[in-house]
Structure 1
C-alpha cells in the first residue's frame, strides 16, 4: 500500500462544503480505532491511534468522534497508508446532541414511573375525599338519634355499629394520609433523578473532541489512518526502593545497594489505555520561552534630599524629574515590561508544562524508558505503579554524629549511579538490613553521578558527650591577658560485631569576630585550611586532614564557622576517646560576649 499524504497540523481550517457527491461518514473512535502506543511525559502524553476506514471513490469527509477532551489540538498530526490523499484536517468540539428535553424546554421531564406515581396519588386523594364524606355522613346520622323514637337497645346497637364504622374510617383516613406523604416523597425523588439525567446529558463529557479529515480516494477501498496527538491530565513521576545490608560491606569499604526504579503513572484523559505499549520520556517540553534581554545599567550622582522649612516635608526637585525621565529605562521596570510583552504576545502555554520540573534531569540528560510488555492504565486519576528497572549499585556508608546537638548517630550512603538510567527527582523507601527505615528524597542524577541517601539512625554506634571543663588564667607583667581554656571529651562506642569504616563526628569551636579576641585550637592541631580546600567527602580521605591517632584523622569542614570533624575507623566492640581543647584569649579588661 502506498502512503497517504499527511497533514501534521490541525490549525488548517476546512472551508470546503461537501456536495452531494462527497461521501460523508461519522464514526466513533472506540469502534474503528485502537491505541497503538503511548509516550508519557511528566505532564502530558502523546497518543498514537490507528483507525481503519473504508473509503468511497472520490471525495470523502470522515469525522471521528469520541476523542478525549484533554486533546491539545495544536499537536494533532494525521498520516497513514493507502491509495488516498489527505486534503485537510480539523479538530473541534463535538456538538452536543439535541435531546427531547432540550428541544421542548417548556415541558417538564417525565417518565413512566413518574406518571404512575402521579396517577396513584390522584387515586389516593379521591379515595381520601370519599372516606371523609362517608365519615361526615356517619356523624350526621349519629347526631339525629333520639330517645323518643328509639328504645335504649336500639340506640345501643346503633352506637355500637357507629363505633365500628367510625374506627374503620378513621384508620383508613390515617393510612391514606400517610400514603400521600410517601407518594409525594417518591414523586420528588423521581423528579430529582430526571433533572439529574437532563443535566448529565447537557454536561460536556471527557470524550467530546472530534477530528474531521477530508480525503480523496481514486477508488473504493480501505485505508489506515494514524492519529498522533498530545493530551493533558496524564503524567508520571519516579519513585524508588533502596535496600542496604550493612553486613555485605566489601574490603574496600563499598556496600552493594539494591535499587528498584519505579514509575507512578496517573491519567484521567477519558481514554482507558488497555493493552498498550508505554514509553516513559524524561524530556522536558518547553513552549513560549524567549531569550533574556539585557537592560541598561545606569549610574547617577547621589543627591541628598532637602527638607522644606515651610512644609516640613522632603523635596526631590532634581530626582523627581530624573525619575520621570528614566522610568522607562529602569532595569527593574524594564524587566517587568519584557515579561508582560512576552506573556501577551506569545501564544498561551499549553497545560503540558504545568509540571515541567518533574521531568527535568541534571545536565539536561534525557532518556526514554520502554515499559516491558503491554500495560493497562485506566482513566481513573489513580496512581498505577510499574517497574522500570532493578539495579545493583555501589555505595559508601558514612556514620555521622553531632554530639553537641544530639547523641544519635545517623547513617547515610553515597550511592553512585553506575547504570545507564537517568534518575528523576522522587522519593525512595529505604530498607536497612531488611527493615523499613524511612523515606528519603532522591535528586536528579545522571549516569555516573553520585547522590546522598539518608538511611536513618543507627543505634549500634553509641555516643557519650562528657561534661566540658573550663579554666581561666591571667598572664603578663604590665598588660594583663586573660585566657579561657576549654576541654571536651567524646566517646564513640562501636557495639557491632563488624568493623565500621567511616565514622564522622562533627564539632564546633567559637569564632572570633574581633581582632582583640584570639581563638586557638590546640587539640586536634588543625592547620589553617587553604581557601580552595575540598571540605569533606564520603571516602574518609579528607584533604588537609591531620592524623590524630592510628585510625583517626581530623579536618576543617568550615573554618569560617569553626566547624570541623573527626574521621575514624572502629573495630568491632571498640571504644574511641576523642578530645577537643581550645583557648580564648583577650585583654583582661575586655568583656567577651558568647563565652
Structure 2
C-alpha cells in the first residue's frame, strides 16, 4: 500500500496545558479502523517535539494503538501565493510613493505661497516720490492667508492618506516576510502528521487522542489585590498572560496552566526499607578472622619433598630444590605472656 492510499483523519485541537516553558497539546481525530490498521492524523504543527508524541484510543472500543511516529510529507506547490503577495507589496509601494510625491508638492506650494511679499517697482532718480499702495498690500496679504488656509487643509488630508498607505504597505511587507520565511525557497509545502497503527475490530469507528509537546509557549502570572478603605477584607485576583508562537490557533481551546517545567526530568524517589518487629541489640564484634587466601599452599613443596635419608652420625636430610633440608623438628613453644 502506498503512502497515498493510507487513510487520513483530520484532527482538531481540543486542549492545551501551558507550562513554565513549553506546552502540551491534545488533538482529537475520529474515523473507522481500516483493514490494515494504518491511519495518518493530520494537522500537527511543524514545531512539535517528535519524542513527545503519545496516542491512545478513547472509550472502551477494544481498539488500541500499537505504534505511533511522526511523518513529514513534502510536495511541490505553485508560487502563486508568494508572487501575489509580492505584486501586492509593489502596488502598495507605488501608491505610497505617489501619495508621498503629492504631499511633497503640497508642502512646496505652501512654501511658495508663504514667500509672497509685496515688491514696489524700482524708482528712478528723476521720478517724483510716490505713495505706498496700502490697499494692494492688504489685498495680497488676504490672498496669501486664504491660499495658505486651503493649502494646509489639503496637506492634512495628504498626511492622513500617506499614513494609511504606509500602514498598508507595512502590513503587506510583513505578510510577505512571514510567507518567505515560513515556506522553503524551492516552493515545497511540508505537512506533519502522526502515523498510527491500530489493532482491533476493522470498521469500528473510534476516536483517537494525540498528545505532543511544543516549545514555543510561555505564560506569566499577574496578581491584583483590591482592598477598600476601612474594610478588613480584600479580593485577590490571579491573571495569566499567555504567549505562544507554535503555528497553531488556540482560539476556543480549553486552556490549563502549570508552574512546572515541561522539559525537566523527574525520577521516582528511592524509598528506604523499613523493618517492623521487636528491636534486638546489635551483635558484639567477633575477634575471629578468615584465614588469608593461599595459606594452604604455603607448605605444599615441603610436604611433597618427603623425609630425607638417614646418615650415620647425623640426622636424615633430604634435598629439595637443590637445598638440603633437615628433618622436621618439633615446633618451639611460644614464650609465656608477660606478667603485669
Question: TM over 0.5, yes or no?
Answer: no
Larger relative helix fraction: 2
Larger relative strand fraction: 1
TM-score w.r.t. length of structure 2: 0.40
TM-score w.r.t. length of structure 1: 0.27
RCO comparison, higher one (Cα < 8 Å, 6+): 2
Specify the structure having the higher radius of gyration (Cα).
2
